[in-house]
Amino acid sequence: MNDFQSIKDKWQTSLNKSLDNNVFSTWEWLSTWWKYFGKAKRLVILLVEEKNDVLAIVPFMLSKYKFLRCGTLRKISFVGSPESDYNTFILQKKEVKIIEAFFDYLNNYIDWNYLELECLPETSVSANLLRRISREKTYKKWDERVHWVCPYVSLPRSMNTFMKKQLGRKTRKNLRRYLRKLERRSCVKLKKYCEIGAVNEAMEIFFQLHKKRWELTGKPGAFNTLLLRDFHKDIAEQFDENGWLGLYFLTINDEPISATYNFEYNQKTYGYQSGFDPKYADYSVGTLTMMFLIEKCIQKGLTEVDLLRGAETYKSRWTSKARKNLKMTYAQSGLFSNTYDFVNKHNPFKKLQARYMERLLIT
């Protein structure tokens, strides 16, 4: 298929029944990503249907890169890469023949020479079925490696239990000290975005707090282009309508000083990004915001705070649990695709490579 709109109604119904249901597989996330970042790429959405029931959906895209006279790389990857923290197939059944059908279609109808599937959760059904495919002789050049570590916080039924059993004594002491210190000078509250203003207004405040936090390190942060900011404002509006937007602000005397941008979906909170005003760094407001967020999630009956990809130090304060994201690649026979495969696996300058590849993208 070459468009999202025609299967909007079927998509979420199928996802709700799927074995790998996460917020980055929703129609809203992927169709909006395509709207902003799909330029010069070909959409390849593959479906398996049985009696008008969609048993499986694979959201792929085809990107072509021209390297002077050396050849063309025709790469199959997940729609949403690299903004999606998790990529999976939408599957209602754990059957390898479904995945085989997808690959048969790719091999017979799509002109491609490289497969690159990033951010596959190690525990997902999608990853397990792809492993089974990779054992076939046809795919002997298949490669699998750990791509990211994704820490997560399991939530008990009460905040008191969480503080006592899941946080160290030193962390509890510091949290109490920071909170007392802040409360001496102001009224401290955690507010949801709707208490701050309209969605767009709240997102602009969040962008500013995020930017201020990263300016301390001399880096631009995660929303350094207008395109990225517009994408996330669009996502925020749609998630707001669905009840999935978890954008919270820590305020003192009603002034937002810290923010956490999350997605609340399928009994989990996905902690996408955060930010804070450096003027309040001595109060560790980012840590306090996380504490209030966890308390809010427990009150709502959620079961997990997924801190998403990246092993940043601050995450270790809250949990020692983590899952792995995998990257799976397969190069078809050919000098060019195999040369790219070698460089891709051994290149230490991944970010520079990604920027360079964008310049080579052709329609």
In tens digits, what is the pLDDT along the chain, a chain of 363 residues?
A: 458 988 998 998 999 999 999 999 999 999 999 999 999 999 999 999 888 788 999 999 999 988 766 678 899 999 999 999 999 999 999 999 999 999 999 999 999 999 999 999 999 999 999 999 888 767 767 899 999 999 999 999 999 999 999 999 999 999 999 999 999 878 999 999 999 999 999 999 999 999 999 988 888 899 999 999 999 999 999 999 999 999 999 999 999 999 999 999 999 999 999 999 999 999 999 999 999 999 999 999 999 999 999 999 899 999 999 999 999 999 887 766 777 777 777 665 555 445 545 555 654
At 218 the pLDDT is: 86
Cα-based angle 238, 244, 245 (whole degrees, multiple of 5): 75
Mapping DSSP to helix (H, G, I), strand (E, B) and coil, where does residue 64 land?
strand
Residues 6+ away with beta carbon under 8 Å from 341: 114, 141, 143, 329, 331
CA dist 190 and 276 (Å) reads 13
CA dist 37 and 81 (Å) reads 10
Show the tokens assigned to 141: 């050049």
CA dist 210 and 111 (Å) reads 41
Helix (DSSP H) and strand (DSSP E) numbers for the chain: 11, 13
Which candidate, 45, 47, 38, places its Cα nearest to that of 80?
38
Which candidate, 233, 214, 344, 158, places its Cα nearest to that of 166?
158
CA dist 248 and 256 (Å) reads 9
The domain ranges of the chain are: 5-148+324-362, 156-302
Q: Which 8-state DSSP code applies to residue 136?
A: S
Q: Which 8-state DSSP code applies to residue 23?
A: G
Residues 298 and 264: beta-carbon distance below 8 Å: no
For residue 74, give the amino acid letter: R
At 340 the pLDDT is: 72
Show the tokens assigned to 117: 């599937």
75, β-bridge pairs: 63, 114
At 356 the pLDDT is: 45
According to CATH, the topology of domain 5-148+324-362 is: Aminopeptidase (3.40.630)
Show the tokens assigned to 108: 């017979």
Which candidate, 7, 43, 48, 42, places its Cα nearest to that of 27?
7
The owner of tokens 């990503």 is: 33
153, β-bridge pairs: 305
Show the tokens assigned to 218: 């001399």
Q: Which 8-state DSSP code applies to residue 220?
A: -
Question: What is the C-alpha radius of gyration for the chain, rounded to an integer number of angstroms?
Answer: 22
Residues 225 and 234: beta-carbon distance below 8 Å: no
CA dist 267 and 258 (Å) reads 24
pTM equals 0.91
Q: Is 130 left (phi over 0), alpha (psi -120 to 50) or beta?
A: alpha
At 354 the pLDDT is: 52
At 363 the pLDDT is: 47
Which candidate, 232, 207, 248, 194, places its Cα nearest to that of 29?
232
Report the CATH number of the 156-302 domain: 3.40.630.30
Mapping DSSP to helix (H, G, I), strand (E, B) and coil, where does residue 229 land?
helix
Alpha-helix residue ranges (DSSP H) falling in the chain: 8-16, 27-37, 96-109, 125-134, 159-166, 169-183, 199-215, 226-242, 285-299, 335-346, 350-360
Q: Do domains 5-148+324-362 and 156-302 have the same CATH topology?
A: yes
The owner of tokens 């590849």 is: 357
Backbone phi, psi, residue 338, to 5°: -75, -35
